[in-house]
Each structure stands twice: as structure tokens, then as C-alpha cells.
Structure 1
């Protein structure tokens, strides 16, 4: 299966309302149609991420694959990584842009039920390859996936969906650490590792901050102004301040005022910013 064919299958799957719902009993979709990218399992950036984020815990594609299929003799040159971006809908983005210091209920639903959609999509992609006799796994769904502490960056995990998407040509990072994609940074991200050599998606950038207006010219600080926790500055994203605000302020709010259970919902820095739904450094068409 090539990437265009796979992308078409993902778009078709997401078009089914039962697969892509913002919540029980709602007709609204959780996300717009996905963007799909691919990188070879031996792309040097995967080894760089391991060294940079956490040599002792961060997985390369071949390590994730080995956890999914113990005893296999796969090497990195056998593998490809498929990543996708799920853009938030205009309905969700507009609702979230109208809020103040608390997340909209639409965003909270997308954070909870939308990630359920993403989990199901991961399983669907793994099954698609399995039907063709190709082994595949979703690293984020593996039992050994866990959160960890990076000596350099603090909070981290054994497999980062955002960093994987970056390697797969789907975007670069902004001042807030969000991934800015061709459809902006109001997104969710997923990926699978496949035992097949697929055609890679070209990376049209050379720097990991290339699509962020602040790093491109120092002029944009919109995400700083949007953050109620003061967790974004010109030095970057303070993960501790961000996590503290979400766990102590917004998650209880979602439980008490919105969904009846805790959801780590915020994402205010992802809307009412130039990179909300596009790459702001790209020339507008027309």
C-alpha cells in the first residue's frame, strides 16, 4: 500500500460519522480530514531524537517495533513510519476562540472523545496493513509506552507523536512547542510503525522552528498572550507551569462544569493565533 492509497483510506474512514464523532449523541465530527506523511525507519532524525530527548528511554522506530513483536529480527532499514495530523474543525476552533481563561466544551470533547477517535484510527491503520500481511504497530498504544523525564526537556514520553510528525514532513515547532502543520497547530497527531519500505514524504523545511513567525522574524507573540498560565515566553514553553494550570484549574473545571469527569483540556494557545489553521509563513494562494 502506498501513501496516497493509505491517505485515501484514512479520509474515507474519518468520513464515517460513527468513526469520527465529537461525543456520544452528537452529529458533529471530531476532526477534519487527515494529513498523512511518511519517513523511513532509518531516518537519522529518529536517532537524533533519541539522543536529544532521552537516550535511556526514548524509542527509535525499530525499538518500538521490537516491543510490539518480541523476537523479531527487523532492522531500521526494513521499516517505515506513517504519521497523520487530525485538524480541529472550524466549529471547534471558533467555539474555543470565544472563551477566556477556560477551555470550551467543544475543545474538551475533542481532547477526550477526539483522542478516542485517534486511538481507533491507529488500530484501523494497523489492521489495514495486517490485511496485506504487513506487520505494523502503534507505539503510543503499546503497553510499554509510558511518560518519562527528559534530562534536557522535562516531561516527555517514550514516543512523541508530534516529533514523529515532524520527521514525517508534517510540520515544525512553534514557540509554545505546538506543531505547526499545513493545517495549523490546532490538531491531534497519531502514527504507526510498519514493516515495509514506503515512499517518504519530502520535508520542505530545514529548521525545526521554520514555520513559526516568532522564530522566522521575532514579531509574533500571540501564543504568549493567549496562555492564561504565563507558561509561554520568548524562552519557550514552561512545561511545569502549563501542567500545573491544567491539572489544578482547567481539568477540575471540565469535571465540574462540562463533562462530569476530568480531562486535561486547555489548548488556548492553539486558537486566535496566526498559526491556528495554516502555516503562517506560507504564501497564501490566490
Structure 2
């Protein structure tokens, strides 16, 4: 701990106070030394001096996914923006104590690596490691409190700290295949998601550009350009499909108890 810094208990209350007052439904911490994320996606790739990842989330109301795609997308963007705002508040509190900290983008910008589209860190995998949930067949996080209707944010900090996670063990995927059967394009399989067949990705790329995007996406050399294209177009794209999420038994069930 840095000399002259307040006791851990005082700092922890400060962070917990921010999370509580900002309406965060669940949160936990993960020691970076125990993180199994691969090179390139590890918290130390974001902050070399990192010791802790703070993971937190907000529940997305079920009715959001019954809305028209434009309104659904706008509501999801508001949740994403809220998570990023909370992350900035946490960073400010930690930096006031003298600890370097970085807010991890909740969703945008995305990266294209190894034929996958993802964030700078895989927040759902970090959340699973921190005990907040488990990963289902639809590749989404399943939590005890909110089922799979969750959005995540995170902060990487060089401060060692611990926030208590949920007392209830996370529910486990039932391997019922409902999400796989519900996918209208066959993008979801036992092996994961073929993003070039996912409607939310293909819808974001104008039809004339899709063949070029596919070639770039599959090429290591072309990946940076594919990444630039998807980030340019993603904010204006609508979430046109959420069937793999809504078909899951945990869409409405919390899994607790």
C-alpha cells in the first residue's frame, strides 16, 4: 500500500459508496495475479502495474428486448454509457488516493483479433472468474441476480483491494441448446459464435462492403482495417437480433435459490 494512503477499509467504503449510489446491482474484484486471461487480453496489457480488476454490472430490464430494434439499441447504449460514467467515477476516486487506474470501455471500441470481435478485456470472463456468474452456450454471462440480462463495466487499478461478491453461487448453463436452435442464421454453435453470420454484425456492415470485410476479418494483416470499419459503423448500427439471449431459460429466471 502506498505510504500516506488511507486504510483499505476506508477506501473500500468509498468505492462501495460510489457503486451503491450509482445504482450498481452487483460488483466484485479479481486479483490480477489470479487472472487467467491470455496475453493480449490480460489486465496488465491495459495497466502494467495492475493488481486488481473491479467488475460491476447493471441489469437490463426484460422489456427492453421486446422493443423495436432502434429503441432497444438506444436503451442499451444508455446502459453502456452509464457503466462508462461509473467507471470514470471509480477511477477518479482511486487516483485521488494516488493509485494509477484505467476505466475499461464497457463496449466500444471493439477489437478484431484471432477472427473474433471483442473488447480490450473480456469483461464476461473476468466477471466469471470473480464469481459473478458463469458463461452459457450463448457466450453470455449468467448471474444469480439478473440471469443473462446484464451489462458489465470494469476498472483496472494498481491498488490491492477486495470487494465482496455475491453470496449466492452463480447458476450454470443447462446446455439445453435453446440458444443454438433460436439463432436464425446458424451463427451460434457448440464451438461458439461465427461473427460473420451473426445478424448484429452483418447488419452493421453495408451489403456492398460485407465481402471485403469478410476477407479482411479472416486475414491477420487485414484485421486492423476490419477493426476500423466495425468501430466506424458500430455506434450507428441497431441490435436487430437478441434471440440467443431471450431463448435462454435464464433470460427471465435469475437462477438463484
TM above 0.5:
yes
Matched with 1:238 is 194
The partner residue of 1:190 within 153, 158, 165 is 153
The partner residue of 2:137 within 153, 166, 175 is 175
Query: 2: distance between equivalents of 1:7 and 1:106?
Result: 32
What is the CA-CA distance between 1:200 and the residue it aligns to?
A: 5.9
TM superposition score normalised by structure 2: 0.70
What is the CA-CA distance between 1:41 and the residue it aligns to?
A: 1.6
Cα deviations by residue, 1:45-71 (Å, 9 ceiling, x for unpaired) = x3x321xxxx4xx142233113xxxxx
The partner residue of 1:270 within 245, 253, 256 is 245
The partner residue of 1:147 within 105, 111, 128 is 111
Matched with 2:91 is 126
| Distance change (3 Å), C-alpha of 1:279 and 1:124 | same
What is the CA-CA distance between 1:3 and the residue it aligns to?
A: 5.0
Matched with 1:224 is 180
Aligned residues: 217
1:213 is aligned to 2:174 = yes
What is the CA-CA distance between 1:178 and the residue it aligns to?
A: 0.7
Instruction: Please show how residues 39-54 of structure 1 align to structure 2 within 5 Å.
Output: 39-43=30-34, 46=35, 48-50=36-38
1:9 is aligned to 2:9 = no
Contact kept? 2:27, 2:163, Cα under 8 Å: no
Query: 1: distance between equivalents of 2:174 and 2:74?
Result: 29
Contact kept? 1:2, 1:199, Cα under 8 Å: no
What is the CA-CA distance between 1:264 and the residue it aligns to?
A: 4.4
TM superposition score normalised by structure 1: 0.64
**RMSD between superposed Cα atoms in Å:** 3.3
Deviates more, 1:114-123 or 1:221-230: 221-230
What is the CA-CA distance between 1:5 and the residue it aligns to?
A: 5.1
What is the CA-CA distance between 1:277 and the residue it aligns to?
A: 4.4
Please, which runs of 5 or more residues in structure 1 have no aligned partner?
15-32, 67-73, 215-219, 253-260
Please, which runs of 5 or more residues in structure 2 have no aligned partner?
1-9, 207-234
